[in-house]
Amino acid sequence: MTAVTTSATPRFGWTRSLARWETLLVVALLGLIVLGNALSPFFLTAGNFANLIAALMEVAIMALPMTLIVIAGEIDLSVESAAGLASALLGFLWMSHVPLPIAILIVLAVGALGGLLNGLLIARGGLPSLVVTLGTLALFRGLALIVLGPIGVSDFPEAFTAVGFGHVPGTVIPWPFVIFLVLAVVLAVVLHRTWIGRHIYAIGKNSGAARYSGVRVARVKVGLFMLSGLIAALAGIILTSRLSSARADAAQGMTLTVVTVVLLGGVNIFGGSGSIPGVVLAVIAVAVMQNALRLASVTVEVQSIALGLLLILSVVIPTSAHRAKSAIERVRGGRPPPPDSVPRGEQRIPSVEEEPS
Amino acid sequence: MTAATRSGQRLGAIARQRELGLLVILVVLGAAVTLRAPQFLTIANLSQVSVLASVTAVAALGEALVILTRNVDLSVEATIGIVAYVVAVTLESHTFSAPVAILFGIGLGLLLGIVNGVLVAFLRVPSIVATLGTLSVFRGIDYFIAGSHQVPLAGLPEGFTDPARSDVFGVPVFVLVTVILVAIGTVILRSTRFGRQVYAVGSNPEAAAILGIPSRRVVFTAFAACGALAGLAGVMWVMEFGTINGTAATGAVLAIVAAAVVGGVNIFGGSGTLAGAALGALFLGFVANALPLIGLSQFYLQAIYGAVILAAVAADALILRRLQRSRTRRSGR
Amino acid sequence: MLMFAACSGGGATTAPGGSGAAPSTAGGSAAAAKITVGYLPKDIVNQYFAAAKTGVDKAAAETGGTVKQVGPNEAKADLQIPFINDLTTQKVSAIIVSADGKDEVAPALKAAMAAGIKVVGFDSSPAVGAYNVFVNQVDFSGVGVNLADWACELAPSCTGDIAILSAAATATNQNAWIDLMKTTLATDKYKGLKLVDTVYGDDDATKSTQQAQTLLTKYPNLKVIVAPTTVGILAAAQVVKQAGKSDSIKVTGLGFPNDMKPFVKDGTSPVFGLWSVPDLGYLSFYVAQKLVSGEITGKEGETFTVKGLNNDKPYTIGKDGVVILGPAFRFDKTNVDNFNF
C-alpha cells in the first residue's frame, strides 16, 4: 500500500474522530432505514431482514480479517479467489467421496496455506501486498478452475446446505450471520483488548518503529494473511452451502465490496487505525442500502455506481476534513503542512497504548 | 520499501535485462510450441497473436506510466469497455463519422483518466481505492447506457474494423501503432523534463518534493495519459472484436497490469520502460495463444498469469536485494 | 424494435390486431386478473433476454398486467438469488425466471412458491420441484438433429472436420443439444463428419471470438463451426469472414436472424436456426397468468391454449411440468428477411 500512493497520510486524533465516524455510520444507517421504509412497504419486515443480511454474509465475514490487514498497512485482494478455490476444492473432494467433515478441514487448511503464501512473499520477501495478492487473485482462481473445471457440484447433503440457507430455529436469523457475529466478537477482542491488536496498530502506524520496539512485524503479518486465507476459505464454504453448489467461479468480484465495507467502516487505508465495530456497522449499512435500492427497483448498474462512489467518498471525506482542519491550524499560525508522501519513519510515533477501542 | 527506491537506476538496468530476457523466453518457448503445434509458426497466427496483444499493450503503456509514478490504475478495463461501447454505438447510429468517433473515444478515455487524476493527485485518494471505485462507477455507467443492446459488426461502417486485419509491408497496423506509441513515449520519458520528473516522483517522492518537482501535476498527467491510451485501446477493441455490448473488456485489467509488471515495470515505481510493458503484453498474448495449441485447457491460463506475476515481482526483489548487498559490500559498510 | 415484422411457419405470433385488449386472448378463460410478474433473466445485458422480454411485455399489455424486470449484470446464480428473495418480499403474483444455476436458485424459488408465488421457468430450467411450469423453447432432441443436419448440409459432400463453439461448459441446455448432436453424428448418414473439438466462449463476445480464432488456427482443415448459441454463432461468423475463409469454412447453429442476415447473404452462414424468442416470453407470461388464475396447476397432462401460438392448438403440459414452445425455425436466404428479432 505504501508503494502506491503519493498522497498525504491523514493523521487524525483518531480516538475522537473514530467515535465520530461510527456515530456518522449509525446516523447514516438510520437514514437508510427510514428511506428504505419510504421506498417500499416490505422493507421493515422480518423476512426482508433475513434477505438483506444473507446476501452479504460472505463479504461481511471476509471483511473482518481484511480490517486487521488494512490496519496493519497491507491489503489482500486475493480473498475472493481464495473463497472460489475453497468452493471448487470442496466440490472436488465431495465428488471424490471424501467425507464432508474431512473435506471441510482440508479446504480450511488449503485456505490457510494460500494465506501463508501471501504472507511469506509479503512479510519475508518484502514484496508489495498489492501486487502479490493481485498475482494470487489470478493464481487461486486459476487453481479453482483447474481443480473443478467448469462444472458445478450440487449433490451436497441437506444437513450441509441447511447451514447456509437455514435460519436459527424459531427466528429469521440466518446461520451465517451467527458465524459472522461470533467471528466479529472474537476479532474485536483480539484487536482491541490484546497485545496482538496493539502490535497490529503499531505496525500500521509505523512498521519500522514497531520493529525497533520489539514487535515481530513479519510474524504478525504472516499470521494475518493466514487468517485472511483461512476465513476466506470459510466464506467459500458458507457460500457453497448457501448456494448448495460448488463452482470455480464462486465469489468472483467480491473483493471490491469487501474493501469498500472495510474503508466505509472507518479503517484508514494507510494503516494504523480502524475498528471492528465500525466495520460491522458498515456491513449492515451496505446491506441495507443494497436491499433498499433493489426493493425500490433501482437497477444493478446504478447500485454498482453507488458502491464505487461510496468507496471513494469514504476516503475523500475524512481526508478533506483533515486537510480543512490542518488548513485552519495553518492560518492560526501552526506549522506548515506536511509535504506529500511523508515517509512513515518521519511521522509522529504513537505510543503503543494509544489505541482507539 | 524506501530502500527499493534508492536503486532506481540499477533497476533501470534490470528492466533492460528484462526486455532481453523476455525476448529470449519468447523465442525459446515459440520454438518449443512450434515443435508440438506447427500451426503456431504461421504468419496468420503470429499476426493474430501480435494484433490481439497490441490492444493489451496500448493499455499497458498507460498503466506502466501510472505505475512508474508509484500508483496503479485498476479502472482501465472499465475505460476500455465504456469507450468501446460508446464508439460502437455512435457509429451505429451514424452520430459520428469514423474519424470523429475515434477521436471522441480517445477524448472520452482522456476525460475518465482526468477523473482518476483529480481523485488521486488533488483529492489525495490512494490510487488503489480511487481506481477500484471508478472501476465500479465507470462499468456501472457503461451498463447503464448499454443496457442489453449489442452493436453487431454489421452496425459498424464498412471497413471500420479493417485496421485490425491489415498490414503495412507485412507489419500489422496495430503492431505499428503500438511500436510508434512506444517510440514516442520512450523519447518523452528519456529526453524531456516531464519524463525525468516521472521517474523522480516514482523512485523517491520525498526527494522529488524537496527538489520542487510538481509531483501532483506529474501524477495527474500520468493518469490522464493512461485514460487516453485506454480510450485508444477501446477503439482498437471495437476494430478487433466488432460486436460490442456493455461487458466489453471485463476482467482485462489483470492482463494489463500483469503485462506491465512482467515487462519489468517496478511496482514500487521509478523504474521500467514502455518497451518492456509492450513486450510483457506480447508475452502474455503468446501464452494465451499457445496453450490451446499444445492441448492445454484454457483453465490453466488464469493460474499461469498469476504465477507469472508472482515470479516477476519476486525476481525483481531478488535481483534488487543482490544488487544492494553487493553495493553494501563494496562501499565497505 | 425487436418485434416481429412478419412471420412464416408454425408457432409464430400473429399481430395483436383487434383482439389486443380483449381478455379473451387467454384462451377463453375466466376474466383474466391483472397480474404483476417479476421477469428475472440470467442477466440483463444479453440481448436474447431483451428479445424475450418484448414478448412478455406484449402479453402483459394485452391483459393489463405489469412486468417488473430485475436481474444481475452477470449470469451468476449467487447474484440472482437476492432478486428472487426481493420479489418474494414484494409478493409479486408470479416469477418468470431463467436460472443461472438450476440447483443454486432452487431453495429461493421454493421459498417463493411456499409464499404463494407461481414460478415459471423459461430458457434455462431451475431444478425440478422449484417451478410450477417450465416453458422449454424447443424440443431438445429436435435441435440436436437439426444441428447435425445443418453441419452435414454445409460440409462438402457431408465430410470433413467440424467443431462446436458453445456457451458456458456448465450450460444445461447447450450440453443437452451437444450430446444429442453427437448421438446423431454417430449414425451412418454422418460418418464423413469428424467432430474435432468443443470449445466454450461463455456467451461473451470477446471470449467467443478468441475461441473461434483458435479453432481456425488449430484445425486448418476445418469445414464447419457449429455454435448453438446466439453470441457464439455471431462471433464465429465474424471471425471466419474476417479471416477471408467464408468459402472454405461455414458457420451454423442457433442465432438471431437480425444478427445473421449479412452472413446468410455473403455465404458465411447459409443455414442456421432458432425458435421465436419473443414468442417464448409471450407464452411464459400466459402460463404465469393461467397459473395465477388457477386455470392450470402445472400437473402433467393439463392442456391450455394461447391464441396466436401453436396455430391456436392446445399445449399439453408434459413430464416434470414442461411445456414446449414448438420446433425451431430454419433460416436461410429464402426466408431470413421475413424475420425481425
Tell whether the model's pLDDT for residue C23 goes beyond 70: no
**Average pLDDT, rounded, for chain B:** 88
> Which of A293-302, B296-305, C95-104 ranks highest by mean pLDDT?
C95-104
pTM listed for this prediction: 0.84
Distance (Å, whole) CA C101 – CA A87: 15
Report the pLDDT value the prediction gives residue A2, as an integer from 0 to 100.
40
Of B150, B165, B250, nearest to C242 by CB-CB distance is: B165
Would you place residue C11 in the very low, low, confident or very high pLDDT band (cuts 50, 70, 90)?
very low
pLDDT tens digits for range A132-160: 999 999 999 999 999 998 788 888 988 89
User: Distance from C330 to chain A by nearest Cα, in Å?
Assistant: 31
Q: Does C44 touch chain B (CB under 8 A)?
A: yes
- Residue type for position C17: G
- Give the dihedral sign, CA A83/A89/A92/A94: negative
Tell whether the model's pLDDT for residue B198 goes beyond 90: yes
Report the pLDDT value the prediction gives residue A84, as an integer from 0 to 100.
96
Distance (Å, whole) CA A315 – CA C195: 56
Contacts of B303 in chain A (CB under 8 A): 138-139, 141-143, 145-146
What residue of B is the nearest CA neighbor of C44?
Answer: B148
Any domain includes A17: no
- Residue type for position B201: V
Contacts of B213 in chain A (CB under 8 A): none
Strand (E) or helix (H) holding B265: none
User: Distance from A240 to chain B by nearest Cα, in Å?
Assistant: 21
Mean pLDDT, residues C242-252 taken together: 92
What's the grid cell of residue C267? 455465404
Closest-CA residue to A191 (of A265, A109, A138, A246): A265
Mean pLDDT, residues C279-290 taken together: 96
Contacts of C74 in chain A (CB under 8 A): 253
pLDDT tens digits for range B39-90: 888 888 888 899 999 999 999 999 999 999 999 999 999 999 999 999 999 9
Distance (Å, whole) CA C219 – CA C248: 12
Question: Which structural domain range is residue A211 located in?
Answer: 24-36+44-318
Instruction: Say which residue, B226 or B266, is predicted with more confidence.
Output: B226
Which value does ipTM take for this structure?
A: 0.85
Would you place residue C9 in the very low, low, confident or very high pLDDT band (cuts 50, 70, 90)?
very low
Report the pLDDT value the prediction gives residue A83, as an integer from 0 to 100.
97
Distance (Å, whole) CA B111 – CA B117: 10
Residue range B3-327, CATH number = 1.10.3470
Report the pLDDT value the prediction gives residue A277, as an integer from 0 to 100.
94
> Chain C, 235-264: which have a CB under 8 Å from a chain A CB?
none
- Say if residue B202 is exposed, middle or buried (CB neighbours under 10 Å; 0-12, 13-18, 19+): buried
Give Cβ neighbours of residue C312 (< 8 Å, ≥ 6 apart). Answer: C305
For A22-27, the CB contacts below 8 A with 24+ separation are A22/A266, A22/A275, A22/A277, A22/A278, A22/A281, A25/A264, A25/A265, A25/A266, A25/A278, A25/A281, A25/A282, A25/A285, A26/A281
Per-residue confidence in pLDDT tens, chain A, 357 aa: 344 433 334 444 444 555 578 888 888 889 888 888 887 788 888 777 777 888 889 999 999 999 999 999 999 999 999 999 999 999 999 999 999 999 999 999 999 999 999 999 999 988 889 889 999 999 999 999 999 987 888 889 888 988 877 788 877 788 899 999 999 999 999 999 999 999 999 999 998 899 998 899 999 999 999 999 999 999 999 999 988 889 888 898 899 899 999 999 989 888 999 999 999 999 999 988 888 888 777 888 888 899 899 889 888 887 777 778 788 877 776 555 444 443 333 333 333 333 333
User: Distance from C178 to chain A by nearest Cα, in Å?
Assistant: 16
Read off the CATH number of the domain in which A185 is found. Answer: 1.10.3470
Strands (E), C167-238: 193-200, 222-227
Report the pLDDT value the prediction gives residue C102, as an integer from 0 to 100.
84
Q: Is B94 left (phi over 0), alpha (psi -120 to 50) or beta?
A: left
Least reliable range by pLDDT among B68-72, B155-159, B204-208, C229-233: B204-208
Any domain includes A329: no
B-to-C residue pairs, Cβ atoms closer than 8 angstroms: 78
Closest-CA residue to C242 (of B198, B52, A198, B245): B52
User: Distance from B205 to chain C by nearest Cα, in Å?
Assistant: 40
Distance (Å, whole) CA B229 – CA B171: 21
What's the grid cell of residue A292? 433498499
- Structurally, chain A folds into a number of domains equal to 1
Q: Does B306 touch chain C (CB under 8 A)?
A: no
Report the pLDDT value the prediction gives residue C325, as an integer from 0 to 100.
92
Report the pLDDT value the prediction gives residue C25, as an integer from 0 to 100.
40
For chain B, domain boundaries: 3-327
A-to-B residue pairs, Cβ atoms closer than 8 angstroms: 191
Mean pLDDT, residues C134-149 taken together: 88
Contacts of A134 in chain B (CB under 8 A): 254, 257, 309
